[in-house]
Amino acid sequence: MMLTSERGKRQKDTIVKILHMERVKKERFSGDVQVFSPSDDPSDEKHGINQEKLLCGKWFTKEEDEIVKDAVYRYIEVHNLGGDGLQKVLDSKFIPELRGCWKKIGKAIPYRPYIAVYKRAQRLFRMGEKGKWTEEKYEMVRKFYGEHGPKWKILADELGKDRVHVGNAWHRIKLDNLKKGNWAQEEIQNLFELVNANLQLKLFEEKKSKHGMLRDNICWSEISDKLSTRIALNCCNKWYRQLTSPMVAAGEWADTDDYRLIDALFELDASCIEDVDWDNLLDHMSGELCRKRWNQMVRQLSQHESKSFAVQVEVLAKRYRPDLVGAREAWDRKPVGP
C-alpha cells in the first residue's frame, strides 16, 4: 500500500511540474486554490498545445481519476456554483454561462484532450449511482429504444447512469444471436468480408487520424450489426488483438503486407511449404519475417495441422484477398486529413 501511495505521489508531482512547464496563465483566488483564468483564450494553438502529442485512447489511471475529480470540485468551489454545482458542470452544455468550462477543467491534465477529461468525469460521477445492471433495467432499455430510439440521455437521467453506459448496455443486448467465447471459423470469415468491404468504401472518404475503435476509420458498430453475433468491442478486439500481427505494432510489418504475402503465395501455387523461397517472396521483407507472419496466420485456422499447405493458402486467400492488394495499398497512400 505504501509503495502504491508513493507511486501515486510521484505521478501527481510529475503532473504538477508539467502544469508549471505549460506556462498557462492562472489566477489565484482565496487561499491556495488555483484555477485557469476565465479570460484565457481557449485556442490550443495559442497555448502551444500540440494536438498530435496528446495522449489518446489510453485508460485513465487511478491517480488521474483523482486529479479529474479534484479539478471538477475546485471549479465548482471557485465559481461558487453551490450545492448543485456538480450537476450543473456535468450538464454544462445546457447552461450557457458554463459552456467552455471543460476546456478549463481539462487543463488539469494538459497531456490529454479536454474532451477525454470531460468524458472520464461523466463516467466517474455518474456510473453506478443506482447499482448494477439487472434484467429489469435491460428490459427498460429495450422498451425505451423501441419507443424513442437512442436518446440515451433521457433514460440515463431516470436510471441515474451515464448515457454512454446506457448506450453500451443496449449494444450488449440488441443482438438476438449474440455469442460469447471462441469464434467459429465462419464468423472469422464473415468478419474479414465485412472489414474488407468497409475499407473498400473508405477509399472514397477522407482518411482521418484516429485511435482505439476508430482506427483505420472502421465503424465497428456497423460491422457488429451486420455480423449479428458479436458486439462492436469484441469485433474490434478480435481484429486488432488476434488477427492483426503484433509485428505491426512493433513497426516490422504492415497490415497491407498480409495481403501482399498471401497474394505472392497464391500466385506461387506451391504444393508444399518446402517449395517456398521465403527470402525472395516479398522484395521489401526478409524471409524470416514472411515465414513468421505465415505461422501466425496459420494458427488462426481451425485444425490447421491436418490441412495441406495448398489448402491453408486457399483458405487464407479468402480472408486476405489477393485482389484487394491494390485497394489496401491505395488506403495506405491516402493522406491523413485534419
Kindly indicate the confidence band of residue 338, based on its pLDDT and cuts at 50, 70 and 90: low
Cell of 252: 516490422
Question: What is the distance of C-alpha 40 from the center of its chain?
Answer: 31
Percent of the chain with pLDDT over 70: 78
What do you get for the CA distance between the two ends of the chain, in Å? 44
Query: Strand 207-208 relative to strand 336-337: parallel, antiparallel, unpaired?
Result: parallel
Residue 42 pLDDT: 39
Kindly indicate the confidence band of residue 181, based on its pLDDT and cuts at 50, 70 and 90: very high
Assign 3-class secondary structure to 265-297: HHHHCCCCHHHCCHHHCCCCCCHHHHHHHHHHH
Residue 200 pLDDT: 85
Using the 8-state DSSP alphabet, how is residue 209 labeled?
-
From 65-74, 87-96, 218-227, the region with the lowest mean pLDDT: 87-96
From 130-139, 235-244, 317-326, the region with the lowest mean pLDDT: 130-139
Cβ–Cβ under 8 Å, residues 319 and 192? yes
- Residue, of 278 and 156, whose pLDDT is higher: 278
Cα dihedral 317, 323, 325, 331 sign = negative
Q: Is it the case that residue 10 has pLDDT exceeding 90?
A: no
CA pair distance 117, 49, nearest whole angstrom:
15
Question: What is the distance of C-alpha 56 from the center of its chain?
Answer: 9
- Residue, of 92 and 31, whose pLDDT is higher: 92
In DSSP terms, which residues pair with 28 in a beta bridge? 34
Cell of 33: 486554490
Cell of 4: 502504491
Identify the residue whose cell numbers are 501511495.
5
Mean pLDDT of 198-204: 80
SS3 28: strand
Length of the chain: 338
Residue 128 pLDDT: 54
| Residue 272: partners with Cβ closer than 8 Å, 6 or more residues away | 308, 309, 310
Cβ–Cβ under 8 Å, residues 88 and 105? no
pLDDT (tens digit, 9 = 90+) per residue, 248-294? 989 999 999 999 999 999 999 999 999 999 999 999 999 999 999 99
The rounded mean pLDDT for the chain is: 80
Cβ–Cβ under 8 Å, residues 90 and 126? yes
Kindly indicate the confidence band of residue 19, based on its pLDDT and cuts at 50, 70 and 90: very low
Cα separations (Å) of 36 from 33, 106, 263, 329? 10, 10, 57, 46
Query: Which helix H or strand E contains 54, and what residues bound it?
Result: none
Cell of 81: 456554483
| Residue 63, amino acid | E
Residue 25 pLDDT: 35
Kindly indicate the confidence band of residue 236, based on its pLDDT and cuts at 50, 70 and 90: very high
Query: Which helix H or strand E contains 251, and what residues bound it?
Result: none
Mean pLDDT of 9-22: 44
